[in-house]
């Protein structure tokens, strides 16, 4: 059996991309996973529907942090509407974990947080 | 029976996960089932299935006799004075809800005090929180001290301040996170001094130490069958007979009245008035078999085996850098539950990595969020032992933990 913890996941966990809070932002989202205590907060600066900048803060397991890190890389510079259309399956494929995993709530916490953003 | 033979009785332990033999260390969540227990379920449905208490035919009579016999056996298991003091439920949770929704409904008034503790499982918090709200009663929490003991001074203070208005104290016999044993007879003495009652959540002690309700002097005691090598969907509420007799039923329905008409009802006697509707007869018969299976190993060797597993586990864990144990130290008497974390490594990651080696542990708050928050601990990993666990399994687990903490992060 191959490990859940592939190199890309460890890399993104140890060096999460866009791990910062934004000084200037107009959308913010926060979600926690109550069963494990993971908390993610995401900030976006969206101009003319384009995500010009994105940052996230929080604490969590390697899977939830890596997944969020990869997601921010994926959506930065793209149309904000992309988030609404992103499916769970695309996130599993992006991070390289089979969707039939006991860790699905960790994989998907980042996407859920991005989908839960409100205007500030 | 020798304890070494326990493994052979448990079919599921032959399974492998991720190409490694299963090491099952989540016994505080549920225990695995011996063949004798599984056989009872099959045998009941193949040979004795009929609804109890109401059929006049031989098959129903046989089923009823088996049911009553199971009650006798469970009563003996916890040394209840009367078999009628055993109420069958579907879970420990239901048993605790039953007490909250019967005793508190009739015997707690506005401004009375219900006491629980910071170390409780959510199932011994939420029923009291909800009934306290409904009755406008005060819900008081006994703090857990830094040494993981309950703050008995605070209990004394409450008893002095509110006196007979303290109606009930509900407490775990053993915390599902800390593993340490609460001195129940002492709490019974204290709460009885003001005329209050003591309810004990024995979910985590029932399969680990002999339970004698008369010695404990508790008024109610709840446990589930599935944590004592028996089927899920079975639970027990012990209640002192004179108390159960005073309570009105919570669930109402079939097979729990002597008589009724359009405007009135006469409840059946205890325990039948608390067992409305068709019961999990097969499950309860299997529960009676499960507790017998466990007792056959002898409590002395059961306790000794578990003590050795805990000592090996704690000693091994304490040799690892950045380990933090949530609970008492290695020299204290504690049952087979060890909760911990390693540095900043998230417990879910460690649990997944252990799973890749076939080792099943629990990660998270274990339905005891207030306790984790009390110690600012965040989520933890928990290993919990059963009768079939071995020293070799603990050593395998410790090797895996060492390699995860050394190599992975």
Distance CA B60, CA B64 (A): 6
Of A1, A35, A62, the CB nearest to B346: A62
Of B352, B353, B364, the CB nearest to A35: B364
pLDDT of residue B408: 61
- Decide: helix, strand or coil at residue B321: coil
pLDDT of residue B344: 87
B148: left (phi over 0), alpha (psi -120 to 50) or beta: left
Q: Cβ B346–A4 below 8 Å, yes or no?
A: no
Tens of pLDDT, residue by residue, chain B (409 residues): 888 899 999 999 999 999 999 999 999 999 999 999 999 999 999 999 999 998 889 999 999 999 999 999 999 999 999 999 999 999 999 999 999 999 999 999 999 999 999 999 999 999 999 999 999 999 999 999 999 999 999 999 999 999 999 999 999 999 999 999 999 999 999 999 999 999 999 999 999 999 999 999 999 999 999 999 999 999 999 999 999 999 999 999 999 999 999 999 999 999 999 999 999 999 999 999 999 999 999 999 999 999 999 999 999 999 998 899 999 888 788 899 999 999 989 999 999 999 999 999 999 999 999 999 999 998 999 999 999 999 999 999 999 999 988 766 5
Q: Cβ B349–A37 below 8 Å, yes or no?
A: no
CA distance B402 to chain A (A): 17
Q: Is the ipTM of this complex over 0.90?
A: no
Most B CBs within 10 A among A1, A3, A34, hence the mutation to make, goes to: A1
- Cβ-based neighbour number of residue B131 at 10 Å: 22
pLDDT of residue B407: 63
- Decide: helix, strand or coil at residue A48: coil
pLDDT of residue A23: 94
Cβ–Cβ contact B358 with A under 8 A = no
Write out chain A residues lying below 8 Å of B408, CB-based.
Answer: 5, 10
Q: Cβ A5–B349 below 8 Å, yes or no?
A: yes
Q: Are B194 and B224 in contact (CB under 8 A)?
A: no
Cβ–Cβ contact B347 with A under 8 A = yes
- Asked whether the whole model's pTM tops 0.90, one would answer yes
Cβ–Cβ contact A60 with B under 8 A = yes
Tens of pLDDT, residue by residue, chain A (120 residues): 578 888 899 999 999 999 999 999 999 999 998 777 789 999 999 999 999 999 999 999 999 999 999 999 999 999 999 999 999 999 999 999 999 998 999 999 999 999 999 999
The set of residues, in sequence order, having a beta carbon less than 8 Å from that of A48 and lying 6+ positions away, is: none
Q: Cβ B364–A62 below 8 Å, yes or no?
A: no
Among all residues of chain B, which has the CA nearest to that of A59?
Answer: B346
Which pair of structure tokens corresponds to residue B329? 């130290």
A28 strand-pairing partners = A43, A118
pLDDT of residue B55: 80
CA distance A50 to chain B (A): 34
Q: Are A66 and A13 in contact (CB under 8 A)?
A: yes
Q: Find the angle CA(B333)-CA(B335)-CA(B338) to the nearest 5 degrees.
A: 105
B199 strand-pairing partners = B170, B220
Cβ–Cβ contact B403 with A under 8 A = no
Q: Cβ A1–B19 below 8 Å, yes or no?
A: yes
Which pair of structure tokens corresponds to residue B355? 């799973």
β-sheet with B138-142: strand ranges across: B86-89, B235-239, B220-224, B197-201, B166-172, B113-117, B138-142
pLDDT of residue B321: 84
Q: Cβ A5–B348 below 8 Å, yes or no?
A: no
A55 strand-pairing partners = A43
pLDDT of residue B289: 98
Active site residues of B: 367
| Enclosing H/E stretch for A9 | helix A7-14
Of A1, A10, A36, the CB nearest to B348: A36
A-B C-beta contacts closer than 8 Å: 42
**Pairing state between β B380-384 and B362-364:** antiparallel
pLDDT of residue B221: 98
pLDDT of residue B182: 97
Distance CA B11, CA B5 (A): 12
Write out chain A residues lying below 8 Å of B371, CB-based.
Answer: none
DSSP B252-295: --TT-EEEE-SS-EEEPPTTGGG--SS--HHHHHHHHHHHHHHH
């Amino acid at each position: 059996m191959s490990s859940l913890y592939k190199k890309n996941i460890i890399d993104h966990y140890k060096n999460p991309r866009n791990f910062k809070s934004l000084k200037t932002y107009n959308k913010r989202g926060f979600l926690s996973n109550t069963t494990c205590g993971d908390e993610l907060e995401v900030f976006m600066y969206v101009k003319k529907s384009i995500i010009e900048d994105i940052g996230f803060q929080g604490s969590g397991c390697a899977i939830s942090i890596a997944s969020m890190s990869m997601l921010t890389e994926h959506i930065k510079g793209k149309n904000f509407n992309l988030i609404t259309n992103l499916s769970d399956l695309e996130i599993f494929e992006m991070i390289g974990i089979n969707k039939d995993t006991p860790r699905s709530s960790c994989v998907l916490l980042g996407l859920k947080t991005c989908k839960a953003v409100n205007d500030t | 029976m020798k304890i070494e033979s326990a493994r052979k009785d448990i079919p599921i332990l032959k399974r492998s996960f991720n190409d490694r033999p299963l090491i099952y260390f989540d016994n505080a969540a549920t225990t695995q089932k011996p063949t004798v227990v599984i056989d009872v379920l099959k045998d009941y449905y193949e040979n004795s299935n009929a609804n109890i208490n109401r059929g006049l035919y031989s098959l129903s009579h046989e089923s009823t006799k088996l049911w009553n016999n199971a009650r006798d056996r469970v009563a003996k298991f916890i040394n209840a004075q009367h078999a009628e003091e055993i109420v069958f439920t579907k879970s420990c949770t239901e048993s605790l809800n039953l007490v909250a929704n019967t005793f508190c409904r009739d015997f707690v008034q506005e401004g009375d005090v219900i006491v629980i503790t910071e170390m409780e499982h959510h199932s011994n918090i939420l029923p009291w929180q909800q009934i306290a709200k409904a009755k406008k009663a005060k819900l008081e929490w006994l703090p857990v001290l830094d040494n993981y003991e309950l703050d008995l001074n605070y209990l004394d203070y409450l008893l002095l301040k509110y006196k007979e208005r303290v109606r009930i104290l509900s407490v775990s016999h053993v915390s599902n996170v800390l593993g340490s044993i609460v001195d129940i007879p002492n709490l019974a003495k204290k709460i009885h001094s003001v005329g209050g009652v003591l309810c004990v959540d024995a979910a985590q002690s029932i399969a680990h130490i002999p339970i004698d309700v008369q010695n404990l002097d508790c008024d109610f005691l709840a446990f589930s069958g599935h944590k004592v090598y028996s089927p899920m969907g079975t639970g027990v509420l012990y209640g002192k007979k004179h108390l159960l007799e005073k309570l009105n039923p919570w669930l109402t329905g079939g097979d729990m009245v002597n008589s009724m008409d359009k405007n009135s009802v006469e409840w059946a006697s205890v325990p039948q008035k608390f067992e409305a509707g068709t019961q999990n007869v097969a499950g309860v018969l299997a529960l009676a078999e499960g507790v017998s299976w466990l007792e056959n190993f002898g409590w002395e060797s059961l306790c000794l085996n578990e003590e050795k597993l805990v000592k090996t586990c704690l000693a091994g864990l304490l040799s690892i850098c950045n380990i933090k144990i949530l609970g008492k130290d290695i020299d204290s008497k504690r049952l087979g539950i060890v909760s911990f974390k390693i540095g900043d490594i998230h417990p879910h990651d460690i649990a997944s990595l252990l799973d890749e080696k076939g080792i099943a542990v629990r990660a998270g708050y274990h339905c005891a969020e207030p306790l984790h928050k009390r110690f600012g601990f965040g989520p933890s990993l928990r290993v919990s032992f059963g009768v079939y666990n071995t020293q070799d399994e603990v050593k395998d687990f410790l090797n895996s933990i060492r390699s995860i903490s050394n190599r992975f992060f």
